Amino acid sequence: MHLAQTIFQPEGRRLEFKAILPEKSDLAKTIVSFANDAGGELYLGIRNSPREITGLSEEDLMSIEEQTSNIIFDRCYPAILPEITFLTEEDKHIIRVTVYRGSMPPYYLKDKGKLKGTYIRVGSTNRLADETIIAELERRKRNVSFDSEAVMEKAVSELNIDNFKKEYQEKTGETLDIQTLRKLALVKEVNKTEYPTNAFILFSDDNLRNSLFHFAKVECARFKGTSSEEFIDQKSILSNIALQAEEAYNFVLRHINKGAVVEGVYTVSRWEYPVKAIREAIRNAVVHRDYSFTGKDIKVAVYDDMVEITSPGLLPPSIDYDMMESRQSDARNKIIAPVFKRMGIIDQWGNGLKLIADELKNYPNIELRWKEVGLSFQAQFVKLDYVSEQDSPEIFGNIRENIHEYIKKYPETSRKHPETSRNIQKYPEIHPETSGKHPENRIYSRTNTI
């Protein structure tokens, strides 16, 4: 990206601006945070708030470059080799420090040590890593995923996997015998005894899953209005992870509207949200969440104005949601993801984000917003045309009147779709295309199809 474009970007996971060279410890924290995560760029000579190119003195450029290099060399471990570049914009001098994703994490401050000096990037801040995150960084260095590690509390032969065996056979047509388990790397042999991996425990219905991964669940809620102050409905999905995504998806379908579009003598259905995209987002949350984080669950929330999905764990460093159509693929859980692929739940070729992007094109009134909230990733499907009844009672009054007139004019619709007329007073909505050629032919109703 050209500098003229970069300076208008907000600070974030991969970007930071400083008017002058920061304090030694602050600079070192930023550098190790970038190296432990996705890499990043630090610009010296650009003030962040308010954003302004302040520039650096030309006479000081070489000195600042040397100070920067020395601070990184003296204070960061293992060794980090940044790329330092001189730039000129608006006749002002800027230094860009580029840090690449490190291959030897965790990186930390030498004087603090690994436990007290390891930092990660969370949004636009540098956060001290706890032991769980440090352990994940150690696994990344060894190219080992958390879900592949063995659990030696119970042998494979003692594990309750009845439901998973049945689900796996229904989806694949294959028997989940010991040979298949080995092929899928769901078991590991230790001292001539085969033990389940963390992934296999998560797929099981054994009591061991409830004790080790009681947080590996999906909390679903339908809230009243646009805030989380009052529940209309709640559900805790406690099943094994092979079933969680579909159960959460069905919960969403029960709480969103479905439109009836009359085209000639036919009635065509259309959901108010891109449900294929939402289904894919929920599946991604289950497959790619960080199961090493204790006490954190997936949350699926339905509001009047959006559907929101929150998953523990930051976005993998190599994935960029701004490039959704480029078929990106990077599995955090290297055992779970191939099993889901084998069962036909996900596509291993990185088509998930493209599917979401493609379906959103058919819903111009829905915007996908994503952000990292703390150590979680959040995706929101937001209605751009949402208007509350409280804010515009006259609009909703007209909507009800128009719908009643429509039902009088087309009574056969009421007979074919009785749920439409029953729920019209409670849930009146109009699709944004209502303003088109035949607005009388489009209605939305609350329908429970699941």
pLDDT of residue 331: 82
Determine the average pLDDT of the residues in 358-377. 93
| DSSP for 115-162, written as a single string | HHHBEEEETTEEEE--HHHHHHHHHHHHT--GGGSB-TTS-GGG---H
For residues 436 and 361, state if they share a domain: no
Read off the tokens for 436: 């088109």
Residue 179, amino acid: Q
pLDDT of residue 426: 43
Statement: residue 447 has pLDDT above 60: no
pLDDT of residue 443: 45
pLDDT in tens, 202-247: 999 999 999 999 999 999 999 999 999 999 999 999 999 999 999 9
Q: Which domain holds residue 150?
A: 146-212
Residue 388 belongs to a domain = no
Instruction: Specify the DSSP element, H or E, that contains 3.
Output: helix 3-6
pLDDT of residue 5: 87
For residues 303 and 349, state if they share a domain: yes
List strands edge to edge, sheet with 231-237.
Answer: 231-237, 218-223, 298-302, 306-312, 376-383, 366-373
Statement: residue 427 has pLDDT above 70: no
Residue 138 belongs to a domain = no
Which is nearest to 201 in space by CA: 254, 156, 260?
A: 156
Contact 188, 197 (CB under 8 A): yes
Which is nearest to 377 in space by CA: 298, 323, 446, 448?
A: 298
For residues 106 and 153, state if they share a domain: no
List strands edge to edge, sheet with 40-44.
Answer: 15-18, 40-44, 92-99, 83-89
pLDDT of residue 1: 63
Which is nearest to 390 in space by CA: 221, 223, 224, 222?
A: 224
Statement: residue 289 has pLDDT above 60: yes
For residues 93 and 109, state if they share a domain: yes
Contact 285, 298 (CB under 8 A): yes
Per the model's pLDDT, the better-predicted residue between 423 and 108 turns out to be 108
Statement: the pTM of the whole predicted model exceeds 0.85: no
pLDDT of residue 292: 95
Statement: residue 146 has pLDDT above 60: yes
Residue 137 belongs to a domain = no
Residue 406 belongs to a domain = yes
Statement: residue 351 has pLDDT above 80: no
Q: How does the average pLDDT of the chain come out, rounded? A: 87
- Residues forming a β-bridge with 270: 259
For residues 327 and 427, state if they share a domain: no
Residue 247 belongs to a domain = yes
Q: Which of 265-274, 288-297, 382-391 has the highest mean pLDDT?
A: 288-297
Statement: residue 298 has pLDDT above 90: yes
Q: Of 333, 359, 383, which residue constitutes the final position of a domain?
A: 383
For residues 246 and 313, state if they share a domain: yes
For residues 243 and 370, state if they share a domain: yes
For residues 66 and 99, state if they share a domain: yes
Distance CA 18, CA 21 (A): 7
For residues 343 and 230, state if they share a domain: yes
Confidence of residue 111 (pLDDT cuts 50, 70, 90): very high
Read off the tokens for 313: 């764990």
Q: What CATH number does residue 355 fall under?
A: 3.30.565.60
Counted domains in the chain: 4
Contact 121, 137 (CB under 8 A): no
pLDDT of residue 101: 95
Dihedral sign (CA 116, 10, 13, 83): negative
Residue 435 belongs to a domain = yes
pLDDT of residue 416: 53
Determine the average pLDDT of the residues in 150-160. 95
pLDDT in tens, 19-46: 999 999 999 999 999 999 989 999 999 9
Residue 262 belongs to a domain = no
Read off the tokens for 257: 């509207």
Q: What CATH number does residue 74 fall under?
A: 3.30.950.30
For residues 53 and 168, state if they share a domain: no
Per the model's pLDDT, the better-predicted residue between 273 and 436 turns out to be 273
* Residue 223 CB coordination number (10 Å): 19
Cis, peptide link before residue 50, omega less than 30° from 0: yes
pLDDT of residue 243: 97
| 337-371 as b/e: b if 16+ CB within 10 A | bbbbebbebbbeeeebbbbbbebbeebeebebeee
Residue positions counted in the chain: 450
Residue 163, amino acid: N
